[in-house]
Structure 1
Amino acid sequence: MSTLSLLPLESRTRRRRWVPATILILLVAFALIGPWVFASPFAQDLSRYLEPPSLTEPLGRDEYGRSVVSRLAHATRLSLVLASLSVATALLLGTTLGTMAAWRGGWLDSVLRGISESFVAMPALLIVLLFAALAADGSLWALYAGLALAQWVEYFRVVRARAALILGSPAVEAAELLHLGRLHVVRRHLLPELRPLLLTLASLGMVTAILAMSTLGFIKVGLQPPRAELGLMITEAFPHYDAAPWLALAPVVVLFALTVSLLGLRRKEDSR
């Protein structure tokens, strides 16, 4: 009886886990396929000023007569690609330095901890803002560097603390006594223990990076027009909210969907 009563609950839980993954897959497909299907996001046609949605233009046209759905697809792709690159860089840098600090200890650990604490003392968004402000032309590379440097410290601190416990475990001590080598320790002991933590941090880091980009675009400090970016699209649509509410609503919905799907994946990893 108890097993039968648990089956519906497990089924509902499994379905709930698939929902964020499905949303994310649809957004990725939209970001990849949309730019090839719809018109150029930069092509202007002032005769189609604030054109309402139609079959050919599902989200209508903006104040410059540009295709909103095309700009939304490009903005979604930009957010996903830039966030993925910055998170991958931060993960690689933070994991490598955190493992080195836990393994070597001594002066190297002290130096790396001092550097990490200086980054922790500054808000992450401030670091991104400083890098974005340094690039007056709204350079993608400046924004990428700021996002990566703002996040690496999270991976460093988590990996350093966890790796120190793993490296001091009896299993690792036995591997060292048997002279199995550091590659064996990393492959068989460190990576299996660190992988769930890194996946959780990466999912949360994607959300942080996407929201940071949108926040900077919203205040027109990050990427600059005519580039299609979610935060910029919201800002540009505000003056026309009464006449064309779909202009601001579309990027807000995409931002919400990205956040919900990535946070849903994070909860999935946490439950393992």
Structure 2
Amino acid sequence: MSTALHELSATPAPTGAAVHRPRRRSRARRACAAALALLVGFALVGPLVLGDPAAQDLSRFLEPPSWGEPLGTDDYGRSVLTRLAHATRLSLVLAVLCVATALVLGATTGVLAAWRGGWVDAVLRGVSEIFVALPALLVVLLVAALASGGSLVAIYVGIALAQWVEYFRVVRARAGLVLGSPAVEAAGLLGLGRLHVVRRHLLPDLRPLLTTLASLGMVTSVLAMSTLGFVKVGLEPPRAELGLMITESFPFYDVAPWMVLGPVGVLFVLTVSLLGLRDGEDAA
């Protein structure tokens, strides 16, 4: 009894900073979730109520921000706010499609390689090493350059192909450990089947890793698409896209700085929000 009391008294009490740190992380995570929800709402509702992003009115050339146009107009008299709403929706939809495709492809091939082994594992590892040897942006540029006219499908395929290898390598390594665990061996001896192993052992273990990778993949997809538009390899005008909007604003940055504030602000908030949610998951 005295020994237990001595050990309890010797245990250092948590400091004030240690107590408040999880609370600050929780607040930061809620703030990131709220900012992301506002962006998603803007992307969903904005294009429905703001009209055509390609509508031109040359009489409104480079109008400054006003009550009617909070972000002003561009060099063709187009509403910057309207174009920003359509560009945000395009970036988010493309990012979700790219991440979903890369996650399904990478997780499926990763589990298959870990489960089957042998020549299947060797072939899939060889293919993944080819993609690892090539810079991800180069893969996207090659696929986008092969498609004429800035094809949205080509950009989607390029970004998904550049990302699937991350899921494959992580899932293959983790699934190998899970499939070799005593619990999975016991399930095999009991004849519970592969579906039981996937549902009760693989999915619960892989879910946190896949969630974190998906958060990073969303950021990567949005930034990759914006980079392609910035270097004029991605989508072509008059389509509204964040990177393309930044490029179009460069000749007028000294007389119409409001043109660049919107797309840069959306990219910044989207990146910080997704990374903040990922940090919150890791901390938990």
- Whether these two folds match at TM > 0.5 is yes
Write the mapping of 1:197-208 to structure 2, written as runs, cut at 5 A: 197-208=209-220
The residue number in structure 1 matching 2:245 is: 233
Number of residue pairs the alignment of both structures matches: 272
Structure 2: segments with no counterpart, 5+ residues: 1-11
Structure 1: segments with no counterpart, 5+ residues: none
Q: Which amino acid aligns with 1:111?
A: V
Counterpart selection for 1:157 from 169, 177, 180: 169
C-alpha distance in structure 1 between counterparts of 2:66 and 2:207, whole Å? 46
Per-residue displacement from partner, 1:212-241 (whole Å, max 9, x unpaired)?
Answer: 110110010011110000000000001011
C-alpha distance in structure 2 between counterparts of 1:117 and 1:92, whole Å? 19
C-alpha distance in structure 2 between counterparts of 1:244 and 1:199, whole Å? 40
Query: 1:254: how far off?
Result: 0.6
Instruction: Give yes or no for contact 1:39–1:67 (8 Å, CA) kept in 2.
Output: no
Q: Counterpart of 1:125 in 2: which secondary structure?
A: helix
Per-residue displacement from partner, 1:158-211 (whole Å, max 9, x unpaired)?
Answer: 000000000000000000000001000000000000000000101101111111
Write the mapping of 1:122-137 to structure 2, written as runs, cut at 5 A: 122-137=134-149
Q: Counterpart of 1:189 in 2: which secondary structure?
A: helix
Superposition TM-score, scaled by structure 1 size: 0.97
Write the mapping of 1:19-58 to structure 2, written as runs, cut at 5 A: 19-58=31-70
C-alpha distance in structure 2 between counterparts of 1:60 and 1:38, whole Å? 14
The residue number in structure 2 matching 1:179 is: 191
Query: 1:3: how far off?
Result: 7.2
Instruction: Give yes or no for contact 1:40–1:67 (8 Å, CA) kept in 2.
Output: no
Instruction: Give yes or no for contact 2:26–2:280 (8 Å, CA) kept in 1.
Output: no
Does residue 1:214 correspond to 2:226, yes or no? yes
Query: 1:56: how far off?
Result: 1.5
Q: Which amino acid aligns with 2:275?
A: L
Query: 1:13: how far off?
Result: 2.3
C-alpha distance in structure 1 between counterparts of 2:227 and 2:21, whole Å? 39
Instruction: Give yes or no for contact 2:230–2:247 (8 Å, CA) kept in 1.
Output: yes
List structure 1 segments (4+ residues) > 6 angstroms apart after TM superposition: none
Per-residue displacement from partner, 1:9-64 (whole Å, max 9, x unpaired)?
Answer: 43322111111111110100000011112131010000000011111111011000
Q: Which amino acid aligns with 1:213?
A: M
Counterpart selection for 2:29 from 17, 25, 33: 17
Query: 1:4: how far off?
Result: 9.4
Q: Which amino acid aligns with 2:88?
A: T
Write the mapping of 1:57-96 to structure 2, written as runs, cut at 5 A: 57-96=69-108
Q: Counterpart of 2:266 in 1: which secondary structure?
A: helix
Aligned-residue CA RMSD in angstroms? 1.3
Query: 1:250: how far off?
Result: 1.1
Does residue 1:253 correspond to 2:261, yes or no? no
C-alpha distance in structure 2 between counterparts of 1:164 and 1:4, whole Å? 40
Q: Which amino acid aligns with 2:230?
A: F
Superposition TM-score, scaled by structure 2 size: 0.93
Q: Which amino acid aligns with 2:40?
A: V
Q: Which amino acid aligns with 1:239?
A: P
Does residue 1:267 correspond to 2:279, yes or no? yes
Q: Which amino acid aligns with 1:205?
A: G
Query: 1:259: how far off?
Result: 0.6
Counterpart selection for 2:207 from 165, 178, 195: 195
Q: Which amino acid aligns with 1:228?
A: A
C-alpha distance in structure 1 between counterparts of 2:227 and 2:271, whole Å? 14
Does residue 1:116 correspond to 2:98, yes or no? no
